[in-house]
Chains A and B, each alone.
Chain A
């Protein structure tokens, strides 16, 4: 088969995850720059009937392995199957999502194929047929650019929410080919899987995040932030101080030893702005800081600062947002 750019799409719970479309869109840009076609690879239960959707984002043809046994991601089964399918395509570049499962699949796939993966990439540049990739290091305190040497196949996992999605072209469906790769015998297995059905917005995917820190004083006060989050369609995050105090679950921690987030809007409430916290949210498009201490370091990163007692300000702000929403709709 002619050389191509290959995207590995992530399929879960009967649908492609949105990040798959971001990666396909970026894949199309890379393919155009290199003068190559864009192909896809997808594994999952029920994926065959959905795979044509990837065509809307520029994928010409998708190889799929569809089997009920592949419902849940497991490195031991998914990696050998993807490796086999990628081998058939003989791509010049591989792109995949830097999602939880994508990062896992990518690292083991890279080792299996003996090629070099760069994770969490935020920018890809193609010059003279060569690919370079940029990713954040030290939790965003700095960025690194890397290049591949000696003809090594570049494998790139793309950070969610960074690469823009193409306008989907509904007139275009990808060709879908079922490939009959055997499902490997695994030693490990998925014992249980549990989806949060509360409708809570996922921190790493949220466009707006409202985080509360030690200034929130106690767990029950977060209901204020949750009410505001509901109005804005936002997710609620926390500083380490709040998580260590047991007010919020560890999965809400933003920072160098928590989630690194890059929403359109990050609202820091009662957070001082320690270097470890700034590392995790410093690349947000807009930052609002609400703190009663005018010297809090968080203000140095904020686009809009409010020097106020949060217990007075948040209720007033929530009310103004409510008014704004009702006049807009």
Chain B
């Protein structure tokens, strides 16, 4: 069983996000970087499946050299090898081009299953998995909160508004992961894991290594771009419902405020 986990490095969830001078990107100096939590859920699911069925887990990512750290973490958690597409042309390419390069890198690994996060906590477009599946003409099962595979069929549970769906597909297939830490509980890298990871291979690729002409990734080929970023409007200063009232008084005052001022109850 060959499983590819597609992962992205994102700023830590604690990060305060500041807009850079160009008005359309964020300040990255001083940010702490992590594996996108949903991709980490996908990795955990892949490692559990490897424990059950044997085989290999490869991680694939793109981005600048700092992403090596995320890949080392994945290797320390138990992945076997990694590929990083580190090519400056991807910096200005739109996500359609980036997923093209990712698809090519994945193909070389000949997987039976591809696991990835249902969304990334940075730009949160939640499209990567479905696009890769479409590029490969594979079925995809999205937003798994539970997964099982017997080596030939993969089954997931997918929450929808007001219910849940059980989806099933023969392999090969792509699965995207949702849920929360409470479900997946991703393992920490152990000390021996970290030592072993130092010897595991990370293949660095440029788009030319994947058979592309870099001209196809130039900024003018982009179909979409971010024109600006903006901060949410500051919230109006609120008020503490006053300490002179007793509990019942505060409760009555809150009801009155919500009814008469906010008009929400």
Distance, CA A192 to CA B166, complexed state (A): 5
Distance to closest chain A CB from B122 (angstroms): 6
B155 close to A (CB within 8 Å): yes
Tell me whether B135 and A250 are in contact (CB under 8 A): no
A288-B258 contact, Cβ under 8 Å, with A137-B123, A257-B181, A301-B235: yes
Tell me whether A188 and B139 are in contact (CB under 8 A): yes
Within 8 A of A (CB), among B153-204: 155, 158-170, 173, 179-183
A305 touches which of B124, B164, B227, B239 (Cβ 8 Å): B239
Chain A: CB-nearest residue to B19: A142
Interface centre among B125, B170, B222, B229 (most CB of A within 10 A): B125
Within 8 A of B (CB), among A69-106: 72, 74-76, 79, 99-101, 103-104, 106
A208-B121 contact, Cβ under 8 Å, with A142-B17, A147-B227: no
Distance to closest chain B CB from A188 (angstroms): 4
Chain B contact residues: helix, strand, loop or mixed: mixed
Q: Convert A276-293 into 0s and 1s, putting 1 for each residue whose CB lies closer than 8 angstroms to a CB of B.
A: 100100110111100000
Q: Convert A25-40 into 0s and 1s, putting 1 for each residue whose CB lies closer than 8 angstroms to a CB of B.
A: 0000000000000000
Tell me whether A140 and B232 are in contact (CB under 8 A): yes
Tell me whether B254 and A142 are in contact (CB under 8 A): no
Chain B residues with CB under 8 Å of A108's CB are 130-131, 133-134, 140
A116 close to B (CB within 8 Å): yes
A7 close to B (CB within 8 Å): no
Chain A: CB-nearest residue to B140: A75
Summed over the interface, the residue pairs from A and B with CB atoms below 8 Å come to a total of: 269
Tell me whether B227 and A116 are in contact (CB under 8 A): no
Distance, CA A182 to CA B129, complexed state (A): 26
B251 touches which of A79, A244, A319 (Cβ 8 Å): A319
A158 close to B (CB within 8 Å): no
Residues of B within 8 A of A (CB): 11, 13-17, 19, 26, 37-38, 94-96, 99, 121-127, 129-131, 133-135, 139-143, 145, 155, 158-170, 173, 179-183, 222-232, 235-236, 238-241, 243, 247-248, 250-252, 254-255, 257-259, 262, 264-265
Q: With contacts A250-B145, A265-B264, A299-B240 known, what are 16 further pairs, Cβ within 8 A?
A: A111-B99, A115-B223, A120-B125, A136-B124, A137-B17, A138-B15, A143-B232, A144-B228, A145-B229, A192-B165, A202-B161, A253-B180, A285-B264, A305-B240, A307-B240, A313-B247
The 6 closest A-B pairs by CB, nearest first: A188-B169, A111-B134, A107-B127, A107-B130, A116-B224, A152-B223
